[in-house]
Amino acid sequence: MDEAVEPPARTVLLGVAESDAHAVANRLIEMQLRGHGIEVVNLGVCTPLSEFAEAFAAHPDAEAVIIGSLNGHALEDLRDLPRLRAAGHIACPVIVGGNLSVGSHKSEDDDERRLRAVGVDHVLRDATQLPLLLDLLAGARLASDPGEPGGGVHRVLAR
């Protein structure tokens, strides 16, 4: 008789960039992810990167750090990300989304290039894509784990 295998608990760290007090999207994303079966450690608004690092220390199995920004100052707020990542204080994918720059002449490609240069792994323009991205990341992580029985990719993506 086969025993049902419980999928591993999934946790993400969510917050709004340090200089940003926009809370509505943050709460909507939290609700969306919880509805998708993902535990959310919501750090709230005006969250410095040091608090994301502290949360990662408390939740080392977190599958992603998700940072929202609507005021356009994400790049400035993430200036310490390279140092924190190099020190292993944030050792999971970092996903950033929202309004990512200020000014009337914006280039999404330039915004993404700059954010990737400081260590952001994924830039999302549409928060509805977040569950799919997290599923893909989880599937890739499970597929690379030789100890995962039965091919975790199919189980995670089947949710």
Task: Single out the catalytic residue among 2, 20, 89, 122.
Answer: 20
Active site residue 20: yes
3-state DSSP of 3-68: CCCCCCCCEEEEEEECCCCCCHHHHHHHHHHHHCCCEEEECCCCECHHHHHHHHHHCCCCCEEEEE
Active site residue 110: no
16 near 67, Cβ under 8 Å?
A: yes
Task: Single out the catalytic residue among 22, 36, 59, 73.
Answer: 22
Q: Which residues are catalytic?
A: 20, 22
